[in-house]
Amino acid sequence: MDQLHQCGLPPGWRFRIGTHILFDASRRSLWHASCPDRQFSLELAHAAALEKLLQRPRTVLRWDQLVSPQWHAWGLTPDANGVAQAMHALRDVFLQLDPATAYLHGLPRLGYVLLADVRPEPDKGAGV
């Protein structure tokens, strides 16, 4: 089993974030629905933090709710600074994919919130 994929989606499923963005947790990739050939591969910690946000969209999550137990195994220190770096990297990817929409918002001393609706959907290319 993939060391990251914990969202409970069966193989061949992915997340739609808002209207235009797709996330495949098993491949750790984000892309705009209209441009599937331009995919961004996320680092393990960034993808893991995004999965936590996807599980609770529109909910403020503290930094300690966004780290995964695997951070130590990945050679990372699970702290507020590491999460801030992950959120910055995710914001940059979302901005490149859809500059007109804000997907992540940081609330100083409170946490981070995914501003978009999220729904799982089958990956038609995976034969589901």
Distances (CA, A) of 96 to 24, 65, 76, 119: 17, 26, 26, 21
Contact 13, 112 (CB under 8 A): no
- 85 lies in some domain: yes
- 40 lies in some domain: yes
Rounded to whole angstroms, the Cα distance separating 56 from 67 reads 14
Neighbouring CB atoms inside 10 A of 71's CB total 19
Number of structural domains in the chain: 1
- For residue 114 the two structure tokens come to 């995914």
Residue 26 belongs to domain spanning? 13-126
- 7 lies in some domain: no
- 78 lies in some domain: yes
- 1 lies in some domain: no
**Average pLDDT of the residues of the chain:** 88
Q: What is the CATH number of the domain that holds 43?
A: 1.10.10.10
Mean pLDDT of 57-74: 90
Q: What is the pLDDT of residues 68-121, one digit of tens each?
A: 888 878 888 888 888 999 999 999 999 999 999 999 999 999 999 999 999 999
Name the residue among 125, 126, 118 with its Cα closest to residue 15.
118
- For residue 29 the two structure tokens come to 């990739």
